[in-house]
């Protein structure tokens, strides 16, 4: 072994290795990749030669020690180093001195095996836990005894309470018997007097209720009369303002006549159609026009509400004399309302076109042309020919397959109702923006924001069976809700209804 060690010292491989590493560190940045790799491989070869010589010296030294000498040193130094080296090589990491070794595990096991103090501590812990368990068992037994005692006490208190209740019942029965005996011993005249007093009180209360009802009816009639008078006065004021503006325009033209347009006498009556000569209308202030528009809108909404609450019911009473089925009556009134709005809108368009043609020579190219047209229409709503519109509505109802086959009733019975709806719809078109009714189709999905269900509807049904009254719209906003009837399977019911209507039509054509 000494000879091998001397050879290692004489070769001076370790000194050369250090010099080689220093020179490589100086030239590393200037060398190419291949040159650096060659340096590294040469160093690895030299280190491997040195390790081979050292392992040879290690084996010879171990053999010289015999079987027992050197074993502890190899376990404590060599084995942990080899373990750390192999694990680092397999993971691709450098050797770390902090990596746990097999020797550490062996030492820990020895320490664990040789620790009587720990065993004593464990025994003491076990004894304490056993004592605690015994205490818990004793507490449970005591609580069980306490629960049994409370149960016994509660049973005794319940029995006492039941006895008291029975005694009270007996006392109540005795008191009731005494009161019954007293009532029987009373004079029968007192009972007669009490019955007479009761009857007089009932009569007085009934009279008071009837008087209140009659007073409420009178007040309602008076209020409706006042509203009608107010409406008539507003209409008369609007007509007088229009005539005043016309007279002022005629007076202005008569003072300064032009050769192309001869003046007209002021005694001439107002024309009855927009196709005749129309006087100029002075523009009113914007605040006045806004207030008049708001007032007209409120009045029209009130008339539309009255038509739903009163005129519709009157029309139903007329139709029920001829038709027994309430569904058919409500369908007829709804279709009449829809057709009246449609015809009134068409009549308003034609009326506006005629007014435009008539006012074009006087207001051609002016900025107030549209205002003049709208003001003339507002002031001359009475020129609307509602009778022809009623005839058009009845004509459309006669060809509607939902209500005209078989012809059960003459729709001329509804002339007054149709005329009122046409007038309301025509006046609503003169507002800014105009008011219109919402489109409704049988079998559509029920919209809670547009309609309310009738009293005989199925409140869980999602589809509309038929409509009773249309909803009133301003652009896309609902102003007044309509009324609809909802049924389960509304789509199939409407299909069957249409089939029942179409079959007689086919047979009639055949």
Q: Give the model confidence (pLDDT) of 313-352 as tens digits.
A: 999 999 999 888 899 999 999 999 999 999 999 999 999 9
pLDDT band at 186 (very low <50, low <70, confident <90, very high): low
| Sheet strand arrangement including 477-480 | 435-437, 472-474, 477-480
Over pLDDT 90: what percentage of the chain? Answer: 25
Question: Does the pLDDT value for residue 290 go beyond 50?
Answer: no
The pLDDT score that the predictor gives to residue 350 is 94
CA distance linking residue 453 with residue 459, whole number of Å: 7
The pLDDT score that the predictor gives to residue 63 is 78
Question: Does the pLDDT value for residue 450 go beyond 70?
Answer: yes
Report the first-to-last Cα separation within the chain, whole angstroms. Answer: 133
The pLDDT score that the predictor gives to residue 19 is 83
Question: Does the pLDDT value for residue 135 go beyond 70?
Answer: yes
pLDDT band at 369 (very low <50, low <70, confident <90, very high): confident
The pLDDT score that the predictor gives to residue 85 is 67
The pLDDT score that the predictor gives to residue 388 is 94
- pTM given for the model: 0.44
The pLDDT score that the predictor gives to residue 188 is 55
pLDDT band at 299 (very low <50, low <70, confident <90, very high): very high
CA distance linking residue 177 with residue 184, whole number of Å: 11
Over pLDDT 70: what percentage of the chain? Answer: 73
The pLDDT score that the predictor gives to residue 191 is 55
Between residues 107 and 207, which one has the greater pLDDT?
207
Average pLDDT, the chain: 77
pLDDT tens by residue, 258-289: 333 333 333 333 333 443 333 333 333 344 44
| Sheet strand arrangement including 482-486 | 451-453, 482-486, 464-469
The pLDDT score that the predictor gives to residue 479 is 93
Question: Which range has the worst mean pLDDT, 314-328, 447-461, 482-496?
Answer: 482-496
pLDDT tens by residue, 32-78: 888 888 889 888 888 888 888 888 888 887 777 776 677 777 777 77
Give the pairing of strands 472-474 and 477-480: antiparallel
Question: Does the pLDDT value for residue 495 go beyond 90?
Answer: no
- What value does the mean pLDDT take over residues 203-215? 81
- What value does the mean pLDDT take over residues 224-228? 76
CA distance linking residue 212 with residue 221, whole number of Å: 14
The pLDDT score that the predictor gives to residue 225 is 75
User: What burial class does residue 410 get, using C-beta atoms within 10 Å of its C-beta: 0-12 exposed, 13-18 middle, 19+ buried?
Assistant: exposed
């Amino acid at each position: 072994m000494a000879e091998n060690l001397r050879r290692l010292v004489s070769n001076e491989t370790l000194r050369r290795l250090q010099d080689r590493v220093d020179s490589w560190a100086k030239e590393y940045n200037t060398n190419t990749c291949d040159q650096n790799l060659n340096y590294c491989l040469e160093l690895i070869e030299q280190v491997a030669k040195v390790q081979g010589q050292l392992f040879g010296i290690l084996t010879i030294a171990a053999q010289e020690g015999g079987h027992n000498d050197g074993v502890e040193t190899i376990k404590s130094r060599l084995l942990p180093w080899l373990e750390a080296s192999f694990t680092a090589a397999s993971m691709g990491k450098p050797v770390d001195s902090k990596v746990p070794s097999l020797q550490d595990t062996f030492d820990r096991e020895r320490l664990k095996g040789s620790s009587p103090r720990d065993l004593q501590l464990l025994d003491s812990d076990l004894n304490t836990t056993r004592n605690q368990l015994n205490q818990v068992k004793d507490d449970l037994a005591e609580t069980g005894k306490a629960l049994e005692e409370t149960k016994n006490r509660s049973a005794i208190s319940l029995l006492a309470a039941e006895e008291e209740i029975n005694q009270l019942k007996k006392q109540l029965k005795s008191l009731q018997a005494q009161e019954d005996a007293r009532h029987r011993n009373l004079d029968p005249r007192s009972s007669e007097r009490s019955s007479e007093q009761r009857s007089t009180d009932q009569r007085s209360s009934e009279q008071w209720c009837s008087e209140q009802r009659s007073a409420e009816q009178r007040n309602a009639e008076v209020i409706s009369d006042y509203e009608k008078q107010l409406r008539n006065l507003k209409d008369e004021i609007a007509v007088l303002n229009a005539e005043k503006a016309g007279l002022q325009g005629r007076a202005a033209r008569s003072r300064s006549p032009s050769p192309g347009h001869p003046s007209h006498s002021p005694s001439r009556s107002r024309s009855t159609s927009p196709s005749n000569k129309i006087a100029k209308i002075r523009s009113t202030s914007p605040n006045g026009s806004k207030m008049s528009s708001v007032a007209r809108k409120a009045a029209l909404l009130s008339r539309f509400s009255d038509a739903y609450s009163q005129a519709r019911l009157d029309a139903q009473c007329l139709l029920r004399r001829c038709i027994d089925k309430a569904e058919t009556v409500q369908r007829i009134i709804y279709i009449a309302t829809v057709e009246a709005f449609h015809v009134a809108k068409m009549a308003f368009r034609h009326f506006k076109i005629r007014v435009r043609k008539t006012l074009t020579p006087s207001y051609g190219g002016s900025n107030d042309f549209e205002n003049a047209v709208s003001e003339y229409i507002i002031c001359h709503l009475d020129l609307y020919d509602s009778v022809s519109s009623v005839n058009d509505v009845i004509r459309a109802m006669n060809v509607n397959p939902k209500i005209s086959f078989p012809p059960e009733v003459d729709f001329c019975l509804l002339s007054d109702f149709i005329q009122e709806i046409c007038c309301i719809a025509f006046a609503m078109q003169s507002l800014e923006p105009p008011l219109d009714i919402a489109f409704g189709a049988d079998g559509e999905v029920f919209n809670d924001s547009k309609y309310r269900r009738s009293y005989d509807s199925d409140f869980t049904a999602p589809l509309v069976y038929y409509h009773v009254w249309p909803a009133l719209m301003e652009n896309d906003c609902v102003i007044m809700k309509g009324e609809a009837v909802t049924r389960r399977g509304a789509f199939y019911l409407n299909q069957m209804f249409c089939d029942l209507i179409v079959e007689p039509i086919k047979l009639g054509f055949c």
